[in-house]
Structures are given as C-alpha cells and as structure tokens.
Amino acid sequence: MNSFGRLFKVQIFGESHGESVGIVIDGIPAGLILSAEDLLPDLERRKGGRQKGTTPRQEADFPIFKSGLFNGKTTGFPIAIFFENNNTRSEDYNKQRSIPRPGHADWVAHQKFGGHEDYRGGGHFSARLTTGLVAAGAIAKKLMPDLTIEATVTEIGGETDLERGLQKAIDAKDSVGGIVECKVNGVPVGLGEPYFDSIESVLGHMLFAIPAVKGVEFGAGFGAAKMFGSQHNDAIENMQGSTVTNYAGGIVGGITNGNELVFRIAIKPTSSTPKEQFSLNWDTEQMEHFSIKGRHDLCVALRAPVIVESVTAIVLADFFLLEQKIKKII
C-alpha cells in the first residue's frame, strides 16, 4: 500500500510519465497558515538540473492544492496536492523495453504486475513520487517550528571531498553512490516506544521507502558494532538529560532523549549508469550488451538531502501528534 502514518498520514499516487504525481496528506490540524510558497524552497532543492551530476529533466514542480485549504489556512481535512508531468520523453523507454534494466525494477515489476505496470520512466517506482513527500515534509516542518532538520551529503563514491567523488564518476563515465547524514535539533524527550514504534523502526521504515536507500544507521550505527560498552554508553550529565557523548544518536530504548537526533543513509549508485552494461533480453532470452538512454542523475545522493529531511519531518510530526506536542484546537 502507498500510505503511511498514524495521525499524520500520507497517501502517494502517480507515475513518472503519467499525467501527474501527487499526495494526500491527512491529519494536519486546522488553522495552520499555508500556501504554495511555503513548499517551494524545499521543492526547488529536490529538483534536478540545478547542479552538476543531476538529471537535466526539468519540471516546474509547482504544487497544485486541490483541497484542505480555506482562506489561506488548513481546514483540518485532507490536503491533496498534485504536480503535473510535462517534461517527459517516454519514447526513450519504449525502445529499451525488451531489456530489463539492471538495478531497476523493470523485471520484478513485469513479473509482479503481469506486464500491466507503467514502465515509462520507472512508473510508480520513480523517485519523482518523492515530490509529494517533499511537499508533505514542508508542511510537517511548519507544524514543528522549534525543530531544525538538516541533511547533507557527507560522502560521494567513497570520498568525503564531494567534488572529487563526483569528478571520479564523471571521469569513469559511471554513476556513483553516496552517504547522506541528517541531524535534528530541538527534539523533545519522550517520542517513540520500545519495539515496533521505536523511532529507529518508524524512521527507518520511511528512510528505506526512499528509492535507492540500502542502509540506515542511527548514531554510531555500524561503528557501534566495533565498540566497547564503556565507550558507546552516553553518560547523562545533567537533569535535562544531556549526554557527554552521543553515540546513541539521540535515541535510547527507541525513545528520543532530547539530544541531537543523528542518522545516516547509504544510497546506491544510480542504476541508470551511462556505461554500457551486459544483461538479459527477454525477447531473445539471450544476454546482450546495451546502454541506457534517458536523462538521469549521475549521483542520486545529491538530490536526497531534502527528501531525507522531508520524510523525517513527516515521521516526527506523527510522533508529535501522538505525544500531544501539537495542540488540537479544542
């Protein structure tokens, strides 16, 4: 299913080369001042074509509100937003149809949906669907004005010097992966539960929903596996719960402890590498060489930070509502 959340809930829809993509956001309290302008900065950050290494496909990505606003404020009912798809070049995809692109969902989608899937531009699998998530995230951020959520690319192709990582890809005429780190400040103590509703579980769920994410870690993460307990344990140093270190990434027992929330995601290299590949042709049933056409990001990690921030905001808004940190009107 394509919905997520308990009290702050999103339902996505759309295909990359269909008529539109969009989202319905349910659970936004009434009375929040909101307009398309509030969404534009984050939507702009998500766009391709703005920086070296990203797709030249350019969409206006202007959010068209279809419901839930009245007199410039939220009404307490669902907000439906859609984004038109104008700048599509589907013919690129028809040509390649007989060879399921390695790393892409072509083959599994064909099997699962019996050939009925919209394969153009990845259809519903496309990262274009994250447009809606970014819109929802911008609204969620507005609901929690005391939070600062900041995600940055910290590594490209194994290099922390990002220019160098990207140049490596350009030189190799290949795509590369990367790491995005996110830090959240101003998080109240007490969000989350042990077990299934732990912050790691619910946030991990949403982070893995972002296309191309293959790893998620909180605090010291995989590094923690190499540490001693006496090193990893964060000593509490005052009655506010501040800790001397923050190897836990701000989450203990699944619950926020008021320290900075820190986590990282691993993003695989863009599947659509410009490099020639060797794969199956399902018409001829033979392996063959082929190249991917279309306009693609060399490193999707470059466009990921705002998406990471957005899903983080969506998840936290849900926890804020669950813990009654956002007041309802009566």
Asked if 41 interacts with a second copy (CB under 8 A), we say no
- CA 300, 303, 307, 309 torsion-angle sign: positive
- Give the pair of three-digit tokens for residue 25: 């956001």
Euclidean distance between CA atoms 286 and 234, whole angstroms: 56
The letter for the amino acid at 145 is P
Euclidean distance between CA atoms 181 and 152, whole angstroms: 6
Asked if 108 interacts with a second copy (CB under 8 A), we say yes
- Give the pair of three-digit tokens for residue 126: 């496309």
Helix (H, G, I), strand (E, B) or coil at 179: strand
Question: Which of 42, 59, 61, 118 touches a second copy by CB under 8 A?
Answer: 118
Asked if 20 interacts with a second copy (CB under 8 A), we say yes
Question: Which of 134, 135, 151, 213 touches a second copy by CB under 8 A?
Answer: 213
Q: Between residues 42 and 118, which has the closer beta carbon with respect to a second copy? A: 118
DSSP 186: S
Q: Which of residues 157-176 bind a second copy (CB under 8 A)?
A: 157-158, 169, 172, 174-176
Euclidean distance between CA atoms 132 and 138, whole angstroms: 10
Q: Sort 287 into a burial class: Cβ within 10 Å, 0-12 / 13-18 / 19+.
A: exposed
Q: Which of residues 302-321 bind a second copy (CB under 8 A)?
A: none
Least Å distance between CB 298 and a second copy?
Answer: 9
Euclidean distance between CA atoms 236 and 318, whole angstroms: 27
Q: Which of residues 226-265 bind a second copy (CB under 8 A)?
A: 226-239, 241, 243, 247-249, 252-257
Q: Between residues 45 and 76, which has the closer beta carbon with respect to a second copy? A: 76
Q: Within a 13 Å sphere around the CA of 9, how many CA atoms are in the beta-carbon half?
A: 12
User: Binding segment for a second copy among 37-45, 52-60, 110-118, 137-145 (CB under 8 A)?
Assistant: 110-118
Q: Between residues 148 and 242, which has the closer beta carbon with respect to a second copy? A: 242
Least Å distance between CB 58 and a second copy?
Answer: 21
Backbone angles phi, psi at 152, to 5 degrees: -140, 150
Which residues lie across from 279 on neighbouring strands?
Answer: 288
Asked if 211 interacts with a second copy (CB under 8 A), we say yes
Asked if 131 interacts with a second copy (CB under 8 A), we say no
Q: How many residues bind a second copy (CB under 8 A)?
A: 150
Least Å distance between CB 141 and a second copy?
Answer: 20
The letter for the amino acid at 252 is V
Least Å distance between CB 116 and a second copy?
Answer: 4
Question: Which residues, other chains included, contact 56 with Cβ-Cβ below 8 Å and sequence gap of 6+?
Answer: 48, 49, 295
Euclidean distance between CA atoms 124 and 131, whole angstroms: 12
User: Binding segment for a second copy among 44-52, 134-142, 201-209, 302-310 (CB under 8 A)?
Assistant: 201-209
Question: Which of 53, 123, 137, 305 touches a second copy by CB under 8 A?
Answer: 123
- Give the pair of three-digit tokens for residue 41: 């900065």
Q: Between residues 42 and 211, which has the closer beta carbon with respect to a second copy? A: 211
Q: Between residues 41 and 214, which has the closer beta carbon with respect to a second copy? A: 214
Q: Which of residues 44-83 bind a second copy (CB under 8 A)?
A: 65-71, 73-80, 82
Q: Between residues 39 and 176, which has the closer beta carbon with respect to a second copy? A: 176
What does the radius of gyration of the chain's CA atoms come to, in whole angstroms? Answer: 21
Q: Between residues 43 and 213, which has the closer beta carbon with respect to a second copy? A: 213
In terms of residues, how long is the chain? 330
Euclidean distance between CA atoms 98 and 285, whole angstroms: 10
User: Binding segment for a second copy among 36-44, 45-53, 139-147, 215-223 (CB under 8 A)?
Assistant: 215-223
Asked if 329 interacts with a second copy (CB under 8 A), we say yes
